[in-house]
Structure 1
């Protein structure tokens, strides 16, 4: 379990993390979300003792990171997959981590097999692709067989098979009763992986709730209806006190009434329905709704000078 209590980090006048309090619990995958610059990486670095809090406290199973004997056996983390000596092989990189943390040498082969790098175990890291480097970083996190795992952007560089693999791995680790804390900008992937969400903006806690509750609280749910008997359906719904608004492409959108009820009202009046589908916002839409006021960098399409065409660029280059 990871416990944050009033965690704060300032860099001069800049407040990167602002009195952040939450608990990352075992047995579930907890997603860590926030816009760029929200303080996610700084928070993860403070958990691992790489940055020291200006105020507040963070504990790993009740202890500070620097109090852990053989810390890789308590918490494994992937923060920067490129943090490997380029001249060292995958096997030797993991071996020195194992020997420095009291981890049996046999674990090196076990985790290399888990992440699919057995065939390149003796190759130097400088020849690894981004995806291979990511797998090596995950292997290092798993090395000490810890009860707490922390991953920052774990799917970077992975192909579709690799993304499916890491998603399945994280769920499996949580099912074993471990604490899994994962940060990612890929909302579609987080929606498939996380059970619980911790969302921050400008360093402050915005949400600490289940995935289902987060989407429900920060988005609009409605039922989309399509019918060739539009006026008849409107009459039936209005008589029942149901609120209806116009949707796209001639559809109707009904708030606050379940699809079953709408179908019953239509059937009672003999109205033919071509579509009756409950609609709920995606995690991405809910996230953008909640964090709209916390985004540090806004892009505005259609403003500024247009980019030069390839021909214009070439002519400009030739003119010196």
Structure 2
């Protein structure tokens, strides 16, 4: 488990992280979201002891990172895929990590095989593609067979097969009872992977909740209905105490009512429906709604 208590980091007058308190628990994939400049990378670096907090504390299974014996056997992390010696072959890169943490050398072959890099074990990472570098970074994170793994943009540079593999890997690690903490800007991928979400903006905690509850609380659910007798349907819905709104391409959108109720109103009055669907906002829409006031760098739309 990863536990943060009032974690704060200031750089001069700039506050990068302010009073973060949350826990990343085992058995689920926890997504870590926030706009650019929200403080995600700084938070992850403080978890690993790479940056010292101005105040507050981080605990890895109850201990600060710097007190962990053989830390790679407790927590593995992928933060910068290219942070390897470009002239050292992949096997030797992992060998140095293994020896520094008392990890058996046989484990190197196991993780290279797991990430699909056995065939390039004697190649130098300086010539690796971005996707291959990501795979080597994941191998490094898993080298000590840790109970906690932390990934920052793990699918960056991967092809669809690689993305599918990383998604299933994270789910399997969580199913095995490990703590999985992953940061990504790919909302569609996060929606398919994460069970729980921690969202920050301008260094502050905005949400710490399940994926389902996050979308429910930060999105607009509605029913979309289409009929060749649209105006009559509008009148009937209004008479029933509902508030029909205008949807795209002549559709009607109604909030606060199940689709079945609208279908019943139409059937009772002999109306033909061409579409009747319950709609729920995506993770991306919910995220944009929650963080719209916490975006540090915001571009104008084209033409404005």
Cα distance in 2 for partners of 1:18, 1:303 equals 36
1:44 equivalenced with 2:44 (yes/no): yes
Q: Secondary structure at the match of 2:21?
A: strand
Deviation by residue 1:97-119 (Cα, 9 ceiling, x = unmatched)? 11110111111000000000001
TM-score scaled by length of structure 2: 0.98
After TM superposition, give the deviation of residue 234 of structure 1 in Å.
2.2
Q: Which residues in structure 2 correspond to 1:215-294 (within 5 Å)?
A: 215-294=215-294
Q: Secondary structure at the match of 2:293?
A: helix
Cα distance in 2 for partners of 1:290, 1:302 equals 23
Deviation by residue 1:183-218 (Cα, 9 ceiling, x = unmatched)? 001111111111110000000000001111111111
Deviation by residue 1:261-295 (Cα, 9 ceiling, x = unmatched)? 11111111111100001111111111111111111
Structure whose CA Rg is larger: 1
Cα distance in 2 for partners of 1:292, 1:301 equals 14
* Corresponding position of 1:145: 145
* Corresponding position of 2:162: 162
* Corresponding position of 1:84: 84
Unaligned runs of 5+ in 1: 305-320
1:29 equivalenced with 2:10 (yes/no): no
Q: State the aligned residue count.
A: 304
After TM superposition, give the deviation of residue 301 of structure 1 in Å.
3.1
Cα distance in 2 for partners of 1:135, 1:23 equals 27
* Corresponding position of 2:67: 67
Cα distance in 2 for partners of 1:303, 1:127 equals 42
After TM superposition, give the deviation of residue 58 of structure 1 in Å.
0.4
CA-based RMSD of the aligned residues comes to 1.0
Cα distance in 1 for partners of 2:231, 2:82 equals 62
Cα distance in 2 for partners of 1:133, 1:235 equals 60
1:105 equivalenced with 2:105 (yes/no): yes
After TM superposition, give the deviation of residue 219 of structure 1 in Å.
1.1
After TM superposition, give the deviation of residue 236 of structure 1 in Å.
2.7
Unaligned runs of 5+ in 2: none
* Corresponding position of 1:198: 198
After TM superposition, give the deviation of residue 303 of structure 1 in Å.
6.4
Cα distance in 1 for partners of 2:211, 2:301 equals 31
Cα distance in 1 for partners of 2:283, 2:235 equals 34
Cα distance in 2 for partners of 1:207, 1:126 equals 39
TM-score scaled by length of structure 1: 0.93
Cα distance in 2 for partners of 1:150, 1:71 equals 13
Deviation by residue 1:49-99 (Cα, 9 ceiling, x = unmatched)? 000000001000000001100000000000001111111111111111111
After TM superposition, give the deviation of residue 28 of structure 1 in Å.
0.4
Cα distance in 1 for partners of 2:14, 2:279 equals 41
Q: Secondary structure at the match of 2:205?
A: strand
Q: Which deviates the most, 8-17 or 260-269?
A: 260-269
